[in-house]
A and B are shown apart, each in its own frame.
Chain A
Amino acid sequence: MDLSLNEKRLLKVLEKIKKGDPATLASHMDTTAESVIQFALLLEGRGLARVEKKVDITYHLTEEGARYAREGLPERQMLNSFNERIPISDLTAHPLSRVGMGQMRKKGWVAIRDGMVEKTGRDAPGEDEIALADLSRGGKGIALLQKRGLICERQETVYLITVTPEGEALAAKGLDLVEEVGTLTREQIIGGAWKDLRLRRYSLETLPRKIYPGKVHPYQRLLDEMRQILLEMGFAEIYGGLVQSSFWNFDALFQPQDHPAREMQDTFFLKEHVPVPEGYEKVRDMHLHGGTTSSTGWGGHWSREKAEQCVLRTHTTSLSIQHLVAHPEPPVKVFCIGRVYRRESIDSTHLAEFEQLEGIVMDRDVTFRHLLGFLKEFYGRMGFEDVRFRPGYFPYTEPSVEPEVYVDGLGWVEMGGAGIFREEVRAPWGVTHPVLAWGLGVSRVAMLRLGLKDLRQLYRTDIDLVRETPSWQQSSEVRGGN
Chain B
Amino acid sequence: MAVITLHYRYLERLVGCDRATILERLPMIGSDIERIDEDHVDVEFFPSRPDLFSVEGVARAMRGFLGLETGLPEYRVTPSGISFSVDPGLASIRPYLGTAVIRGITLDEESILSLMGLQEALHWALGRGRSKVAIGIHDLDRVTPPFRYIAEERTRAFVPLDYDREMTMEEILDEHPKGRAYAAIVRDFPRFPLIVDACNQVLSFPPIINGELTRVTAESRNLLLDTTGTDERAVMTAVNIICTALADAGGTIESVLVSGSHIPTLAPSTRVVSARECSSLLGVEFTPAELSLLLQKMRFGAEPAGDDGVRVTVPCYRADIMHDWDIFEDAAIAFGYENFRAELPPTFTIGQAHPVMAIASMVRSLGTGLGYQEVIPFTLTSERVMYQKMQRPYAPETLGVLHPISEENTIVRTAILPLLIEMLQFNRHRELPQRLFAVGDVVEGLETFHKSAFVSLHPAADFSEAYAVADALCRELSIPYTAGKSGDPAFIEGRRGCLVANGRTVGTFGEIHPAVLNAFELEHPVAAVEIDLRAVPGYPSGQGTP
A-side residues, CB < 8 A to B, are 212-217, 219-220, 224, 227, 230-245, 248, 258, 260, 264, 268-272, 274, 290, 293-300, 310, 312, 330-331, 333, 338-339, 341, 343-346, 352-353, 361, 363-370, 372-377, 388-393, 398-401, 420, 422-424, 434, 458-464, 466-467
Q: Can you name 9 A-B pairs with beta carbons within 8 Å?
A: A230-B351, A232-B351, A234-B348, A339-B440, A346-B406, A372-B342, A388-B338, A423-B325, A463-B375
A375 to B280, CA, bound (A): 19
Q: Is A234 touching B349 in the complex (CB atoms < 8 A)?
A: yes
Contacts of A333 in B (CB 8 A): 347, 349
Contacts of B324 in A (CB 8 A): 294
Contacts of A231 in B (CB 8 A): 351-353
Q: Is B30 touching A243 in the complex (CB atoms < 8 A)?
A: no
Q: Is A269 touching B323 in the complex (CB atoms < 8 A)?
A: no
Q: Is B364 touching A216 in the complex (CB atoms < 8 A)?
A: yes
With A242-B441, A368-B281 already in contact, the answer to whether A227 and B357 are too (CB < 8 A) is yes
With A215-B373, A233-B351, A239-B354 already in contact, the answer to whether A376 and B412 are too (CB < 8 A) is no
Q: Is A375 touching B342 in the complex (CB atoms < 8 A)?
A: yes
Q: Is A241 touching B546 in the complex (CB atoms < 8 A)?
A: yes
Contacts of A227 in B (CB 8 A): 353, 357
Q: Give, as a whole number of angstroms, the nearest-CB distance from B121 to chain A.
A: 14
A344 to B376, CA, bound (A): 19
A243 to B328, CA, bound (A): 35
With A234-B350, A237-B354, A339-B441 already in contact, the answer to whether A264 and B403 are too (CB < 8 A) is yes
- B189 on the A face (CB < 8 A): no
With A240-B448, A367-B283 already in contact, the answer to whether A373 and B345 are too (CB < 8 A) is yes
A241 to B541, CA, bound (A): 12
A264 to B434, CA, bound (A): 40
Contacts of A459 in B (CB 8 A): 376-378
List of 4 A-B pairs having minimum Cβ-Cβ separation, nearest first: A367-B283, A393-B46, A369-B283, A231-B351
A242 to B440, CA, bound (A): 11
User: Quick one: which of B233, B337, B345, B361 contacts A370, CB cutoff 8 A?
Assistant: B345
Q: Is A242 touching B349 in the complex (CB atoms < 8 A)?
A: no
User: Quick one: which of B333, B347, B373 contacts A214, CB cutoff 8 A?
Assistant: B373
Among B132, B354, B409, residue most surrounded by chain A Cβ atoms (within 10 Å): B354
7 new A-B pairs (CB below 8 Å) besides A214-B372, A237-B351?
Answer: A214-B369, A214-B371, A269-B401, A270-B402, A330-B347, A352-B380, A463-B436
Using CB atoms, name the residue of chain A closest to B370: A214
Q: Give, as a whole number of angstroms, the nearest-CB distance from A469 to chain B.
A: 11
With A343-B405, A460-B426 already in contact, the answer to whether A391 and B333 are too (CB < 8 A) is yes
- B356 on the A face (CB < 8 A): yes
Contact residues of B between 298 and 342, Cβ < 8 Å to A: 322-326, 328-329, 332-333, 337-338, 340-342
With A369-B283, A434-B281 already in contact, the answer to whether A295 and B323 are too (CB < 8 A) is yes
Contacts of B441 in A (CB 8 A): 242, 338-339
A264 to B399, CA, bound (A): 17
Q: Is B426 touching A290 in the complex (CB atoms < 8 A)?
A: no
Contact residues of B between 432 and 453, Cβ < 8 Å to A: 434-436, 440-441, 443, 446-448
Among A330, A373, A375, residue most surrounded by chain B Cβ atoms (within 10 Å): A373
Q: Give, as a whole number of angstroms, the nearest-CB distance from A62 to chain B.
A: 35
Contacts of A361 in B (CB 8 A): 345
Among B326, B434, B446, residue most surrounded by chain A Cβ atoms (within 10 Å): B446
A420 to B325, CA, bound (A): 10
Contacts of A341 in B (CB 8 A): 380
Q: Is A236 touching B401 in the complex (CB atoms < 8 A)?
A: no
With A296-B323, A339-B379 already in contact, the answer to whether A390 and B27 are too (CB < 8 A) is yes
A379 to B254, CA, bound (A): 53
Q: Give, as a whole number of angstroms, the nearest-CB distance from B71 to chain A.
A: 21
Contacts of A467 in B (CB 8 A): 373
With A236-B351, A241-B545, A344-B405 already in contact, the answer to whether A373 and B342 are too (CB < 8 A) is yes
Among B338, B402, B440, residue most surrounded by chain A Cβ atoms (within 10 Å): B402
A240 to B30, CA, bound (A): 33
- B29 on the A face (CB < 8 A): yes
A244 to B399, CA, bound (A): 13
Q: Is B132 touching A258 in the complex (CB atoms < 8 A)?
A: yes
Among B280, B329, B332, B341, residue most surrounded by chain A Cβ atoms (within 10 Å): B329
With A297-B322, A353-B378, A459-B376 already in contact, the answer to whether A393 and B48 are too (CB < 8 A) is yes
Q: Is B340 touching A389 in the complex (CB atoms < 8 A)?
A: yes
Contacts of A233 in B (CB 8 A): 351
User: Quick one: which of A365, A377, A391, A463 contacts B427, CB cutoff 8 A?
Assistant: A463
A219 to B132, CA, bound (A): 43
With A294-B324, A370-B344 already in contact, the answer to whether A242 and B379 are too (CB < 8 A) is yes
- B367 on the A face (CB < 8 A): yes
Contacts of B349 in A (CB 8 A): 234-236, 331, 333
0/1 interface trace, chain B 386-410, chain A, CB 8 Å (1 if under): 0000000000000111110110010
- B374 on the A face (CB < 8 A): yes
Using CB atoms, name the residue of chain B closest to A361: B345
Q: Is B325 touching A422 in the complex (CB atoms < 8 A)?
A: yes
Contacts of B443 in A (CB 8 A): 241-243
Q: Give, as a whole number of angstroms, the nearest-CB distance from A299 to chain B.
A: 5
